[in-house]
Amino acid sequence: MDSDNLILKNMADPHELERIYRKDPAAFKQSLLYAWEQYPDSQVLNVWYERLHFKEAAQTHIPFLFQKSFLFMGFLAILAGISTRIIYHFVEQEAIAPINLAFGIIPFIAAYFVYSNRPKRSIMYCLSALFIISVVYLNVLPLNNSDSIILVYLHFPIFLWVLLGLAYTGNGFSQGSRRIAYIKFNLEYGILYASMAVSGMVLAAVTMQLFRFVGLDIENFYFSNIVLFGAAALAIVATHLVSMNLKLAKNITPYIAKIFSPLVLVTLLVYLVTVIWVEKNPFLDRDFLIAFNGILLGVLVVTIFSITERDSEEKKNISDYINVSLIGLALIINSVALSAIVFRLSSFGITPNRFAVLGVNILIWANLIWIMFSYIQFLQNKSGLSTIQDAVTKYLPVYGLWAAFVIFTFPILFN
């Protein structure tokens, strides 16, 4: 049998072993088992054995529904649904702010990340403390519509998103690769959640219509108890599916990034030409200045996702020049917006909104300049793609710190 076994004959030839495997994987697997039993100390055969039997050994034949990660995900999904429904009850009573609904979902996603990544205790204690401080602080604030309180509500999601990033990256929070993975997770998660949410909305519409046919209007009940619970639970389910390397989301995100970048560039160019043509003035028109800043944030998000979805082994191509053009346009928009904000501050005085917008624009302006210089170096072959990605990932905590500054100081500074 040894003389007929092609694997034993070619143990010293990795290339030939690979060729034999690709020619007939089933026959190769059967021959490998015999060869491995004859020479259990062979490193070559051990590597091939693990490669072909890893899944069976890793799963140990436990049904999917009874795997620990799936059960834990289900437990968290139920808790998220119940918590969100309870929080919504108090929101309806106007006892707490609607932003509290975030605490019915985000802490449970963070718990799933902590369970999956097993970070150091110091990180777990830090996350727990920050979540507790956040929820207590948020509900100590007065329930009113003052500018400083509204700014706190607007910046809280950014702060919680950064906390979620800490839970996701775990012990590797300082590593650029882990931060890149977190950004990619967000895009994949958004696509998957939106796809499932659309299906859920269709089911909800059909269900309510069926009950209308028998003379029952269940819209309020269905939204408060079923839709709300389902939306919160679905957030945990989507987290689990993306973490399990679902191929659908991973395969589509690079194409979305490549398609949207040129579309955004063309749209932005047309919009700016139109703005000049109709003589819109961001220095005097407050609403137009707000729209200008919204465009800036959108361009920044598209650029970041385009950079992070780029294959590190891929050579320079037209996408890189599109990204550079987008960043250049974003810098022009940012410079105009900054000038308009400074003008409004000097003309009309300091308000919480103007100060917050000024801070955000300065942060984005600095980030865009860093990305632009990194991209220019990359296009000139003076650095690799990692330099551009560093300009994105190393700056992310700055946004979290700014959000924390607004959240915890503005109610005091502008009381």
pLDDT at 59 over 50: no
- Residue 29's alpha-carbon distances to 5, 61, 93, in angstroms, are 12, 19, 65
User: In the numeric block, which tokens belong to residue 196?
Assistant: 């499932």
Contact in structure between 193 and 234 (CB atoms under 8 Å) = yes
Average pLDDT of the chain, as a whole number: 82
Count how many Cα atoms sit within 13 Å of the Cα of residue 372 in the half-sphere of its side chain.
15
Q: Which of 171-180, 228-237, 351-360 has the lowest mean pLDDT?
A: 171-180
CA distance 112 to 94: 30
pTM: 0.76
pLDDT, residue 34, reads 74
Higher pLDDT: 212 or 280? It is: 212
Closest CA to 329 of 278, 286, 275, 383: 275
Short-list 272, 270, 277, 331, CA closest to 299: 331
Q: Is the pLDDT of residue 132 over 50?
A: yes
3-class DSSP state of 263: helix
Tell me how far apart the alpha carbons of residues 29 and 52 are, in angstroms, rounded to a whole number: 7
Nearest to 406 by CA among 153, 163, 162, 106: 153
The answer to whether residues 111 and 236 touch, using CB atoms and an 8 Å cutoff, is no
Q: Is 119 exposed, middle or buried (0-12, 13-18, 19+ CB in 10 A)?
A: buried
Question: 361: closest CA among 332, 336, 333, 338?
Answer: 338
Neighbours of 359 (CB within 10 A): 14
Cβ atoms of residues 299 and 291 within 8 Å:
no
Least confident range of 54-58, 89-93, 305-309, 353-357? 54-58
Which region among 21-35, 75-89, 94-108, 372-386 has the lowest average model confidence (pLDDT)? Answer: 21-35
pLDDT at 215: 77
Contact 88, 240 (CB under 8 A): no
Q: What is the mean pLDDT of residues 321-333?
A: 85
Alpha carbons 127 and 313: distance in angstroms, whole number: 35
- The answer to whether 282 and 336 are in contact (CB under 8 A) is yes
